[in-house]
Amino acid sequence: MRAYYSADRERFYADTPSHILGEMTRHHHFDVEAGQKQAWLKQVAVLRAALSGMPAFTLYFEFAIPRMGKRADAVVIIGKAIFVLEFKEGQSRFEAAGLEQVEDYALDLKNFHEGSHDLAIFPILVPTEARQSHDVQFELAFDHVARPFQLCPQDLGPVMQRIAADNVAPAFDATAWEASGYRPTPTIIQAATALYARHNVADITRSDAGAINLTRTEAAVSQAIETSRVKGEKAICFITGVPGAGKTLAGLNIATRRSADDNDEHATFLSGNGPLVDVLREALVRDHRARTGGQRSAAERHVRAFIQNIHHFRDEYVHSSAAPSDHVVIFDEAQRAWNQRKAAAFMRQKRGLTDFDVSEPEFLLGVMDRHPDWCTIICLIGGGQEINDGEAGLSEWMAALSARFPHWRVHTSDRIDHPDYDLNQEAQRFLAAPRVSLSPDLHLGVSMRSFRAETLSGFISHVVDGDGDAARAAHAALDRYPIVLTRDLDKARAWLKAQARGSERYGLVASSGALRLKAEGLNVKAAIEPPKWFLNGREDVRSSFYLEDVASEFDVQGLELDWTCVCWDADMRHDGGGWRPYKFKGTQWQTVNNRFVRLYLKNAYRVVLTRARQGMVIFVPHGDDGDPTRCPDFYDGIFAFLRRCGLPVLGDPDR
């Protein structure tokens, strides 16, 4: 149900307040406290007074905002104007949190509700005890979403009448508007929170081609799990996808569905991405406590059973021969599992185990193979995502399956042989084995991270590949996704703050090799606290909002912000013919010849360039003639190439 109560003018004034209250109470899924009933009755009274002079309107109480898992107090449509109202019962002040909340609702409708794309939207905050309105301005932003109005109840009617007079339209089809498609693209934090609270994935995702692909992928994986369970087989599924296509979302949805209360199975979501695990866990703990009012320790225990660090999972079963309690495990970013050299060295140095001599893929397959009946592993694979030494890549999984697990069925994407997945020849030959099934449904090819630019991943690939002409052509198709260049960090910070509205999050990101950004006041070696950086508010100096701490590819992989400033250093510089990778060691830059280290650097920039959902500014320093580690030539080539890619300059390009 989109709204608890909806009515046109005639019905709204014909229904008694008690009848309206009864309708809202009936559609509310939980017990309604007396305070909530009183608040609803107050809203009815305020809106009856405010709308009395309107000849026609359509009103919705408790209108669903699915991406956020919340409901707006009221939505009123008059002509071609949408009013989104948030009431604060018993309050007399205009609090910043309320303004942010109602602006978020308005932006959500504009960006994700098809029927609202071409309408003007006016968010309004109404503290019911306020006696004076604040700063009433009738200006619309470029996307026709106004800055939030701060109105006392007495001024609500006159302001709405003035706006309605400027937005007269023919008879409005409210039924068609209400039924029009809602295509949200939640952040992974929003998605995890909603799924953990048992929302259906259909409520929080889009319904276009990208989400249809996501639905098909989940159906294919569910079928593989069911076949394994019914036949008593063991199977592994490899899901591939472009950055931001929804691989982690698919994995979280599978984990929650297979762990439902009416299901005797339990599925666990595993990731070797420590910052991602920490941020998602903290977000779920905070949400769980907000919903249940329980103790933090209880919420943490509950969340730990759902999302685990893959290395902790490994450490638990290296000392035990028991089969896991889970028949289904989802390995996020499985291409980053450690090879035999890295795993053995870690287990020897950190765990004191001298006889650990297998790769993480082989060990993890062996752990799940302990089940006497059936199990299914789902591996989520990102192309071009290996960013650290010792990450095995996909070939290591294929090698383990070929050598030690001939009885396992293998389901994989038909794009698995794409160069981005860097399969060696032995792995490619393995794909021809009879037990391997290739399916297009196991590839997610449309980025859903940026709802404004589904072609962003292609543009970024051309940039990091050094193909300026192809990047320029791709950039021309980025209709509503701004990317700007600057050589002034303060201008970059100001641009971020000017773009973001509501609770939209922004921050500084850079390659972990960008060590000479320290001269610009950005120290990539100063570790951030990812949960605080990604989750805390504007008032916290540790949050991304403060634009002081810069996050590296290790901090942000798998996560996202609305707006980013990508700070580009001389570790990846352009000489006019192509990218040249460097590593800063001691007091100077050194050229990088190792193929894998070059790949990691390229992927580091791919990661930081694909973190923004709505747009980004790229900061390239000027350098310093007096500092041989920051020679202007290092940076001028970078800036020139990015200009060749079609990126406009913020401010004066000659400075």
Q: Measure the CA dihedral 478/482/484/488, to 10°.
A: -160
Residue numbers of the domain that contains 591: 456-644
Q: Which whole-number Å values give the CA distances from 135 to 86, 159, 292, in the listed order?
A: 17, 12, 38
Secondary structure class of 356 (helix, strand, coil): coil
The residue whose two tokens read 């021969």 is: 321
Percent of the chain past pLDDT 90, that is, above it, reads: 60
Give the global pTM: 0.77
| Predicted confidence (pLDDT) at residue 357 exceeds the cutoff of 80 | yes
The predicted model gives 493-498 an average pLDDT of 97
CA distance 569 to 601: 12
pLDDT confidence bin for 384, thresholds 50/70/90: low
Dihedral sign from CA coordinates of 534, 540, 546, 551: negative
Structure confidence at residue 469 as a pLDDT band (50, 70, 90): very high
Let me know whether 425 and 482 are in one domain: no
Q: What is the largest CA-CA distance in the chain?
A: 82
Of 226-230, 259-263, 580-584, the poorest mean pLDDT is in 259-263
User: Which residue(s) pair with 590 in the sheet?
Assistant: 583
Q: Of 410, 444, 478, which closes a domain?
A: 444
Q: How far apart are CA 580 and CA 6, in angstroms?
A: 61
SS3 144: coil
In a domain, 434, yes or no: yes
What is the average pLDDT across 237-241?
92
Across 237-246, 341-350, 464-473, 645-654, which has the greatest mean pLDDT?
Answer: 464-473
Report if residue 436 sits inside a domain: yes
81, 106, 147, 246 from 502: Cα distances, Å: 20, 9, 9, 24
Question: Which comes out higher in pLDDT, residue 444 or 200?
Answer: 444
The candidate with the shortest Cα–Cα distance to 557, out of 594, 516, 609, is 609
CB 540 within 8 A of CB 547: no
Q: By the 8 A CB rule, do 623 and 632 touch? A: yes
Whether residues 170 and 235 share a domain: the answer is: no
196 and 139 within one domain = no
pLDDT on residue 461: 92
Residue 427 lies in a domain: yes
Please indicate, yes or no, if residue 575 is contained in any of the structural domains: yes
* Residues 326 and 353 both lie in one domain: yes
CA proximity to 206, closest of 528, 447, 474:
447
pLDDT digits (tens, 9 = 90+) for 180-217: 776 666 777 887 887 777 655 455 454 444 455 778 88
Residue 623 clears pLDDT 50, i.e. is over it:
yes
Pick the closest to residue 246 from 551, 107, 454 (CA basis): 454
Q: At what angle do helices 394-404 and 360-368 cross, to 10 degrees?
A: 50
**pLDDT reading at 619 higher than 70:** yes
Rg for the chain, CA atoms, rounded:
27
How far apart, in whole angstroms, are the C-alpha atoms of residue 227 and residue 243? 29
Which pLDDT value is given to residue 184?
A: 60
Whether 436 and 463 share a structural domain = no
Give the pLDDT score at 262: 47
Q: 568 and 579 in contact (C-beta within 8 Å)?
A: no
- Strand ranges for 544-592 from DSSP E: 550-551, 561-567, 572-574, 579-585, 588-591
Q: How far apart are the first and last CA of the chain?
A: 55
- The mean pLDDT value of the chain amounts to 88
Q: Are residues 174 and 194 in the same domain?
A: no
Helix 274-292 with 188-196: angle, nearest 10 deg? 50
Q: Are strands 70-78 and 81-88 parallel, antiparallel or unpaired?
A: antiparallel
- Would you say residue 398 has pLDDT above 80? yes
Q: How many domains does the chain have?
A: 3
Give 8-46 pLDDT, tens digit per residue. 999 999 999 999 999 999 888 677 888 899 999 999 999
Q: Are residues 430 and 463 in the same domain?
A: no
Strands (E), 89-151: 120-127, 149-150
Q: What is the mean pLDDT of residues 91-109?
A: 93
The residue among 141, 158, 179 that closes a domain is 179
Reading the block at residue 520, the tokens are: 């610009």
Same domain, 626 and 537: yes
Structural domain includes residue 78: yes
pLDDT at 525: 96
Q: Is residue 325 part of a domain?
A: yes
CATH code of the domain in which 537 resides? 3.40.50
- Would you state the pLDDT for residue 209? 43
**Domain stops at, among 124, 155, 179:** 179
Four-residue CA torsion sign, 396, 402, 403, 406 = positive
User: Could you tell me if 637 and 505 lie in one domain?
Assistant: yes
At 569-599, the pLDDT tens digits run 999 999 999 999 999 999 999 999 998 889 8
Are 417 and 479 in the same domain? no
Instruction: Give domain status of residue 225, yes or no.
Output: yes
432 and 314 co-located in one domain: yes
The SS3 call for residue 45 is helix
Q: What are the tens digits of pLDDT across the range 54-90? A: 999 999 999 988 666 678 999 999 998 999 999 999 9
Confidence check: pLDDT of 655 > 60: no
Indicate whether 138 belongs to any domain. yes
Mean pLDDT computed over 99-119:
89
Looking at residue 241, its pLDDT comes to 84
Residues 173 and 265 in one domain: no
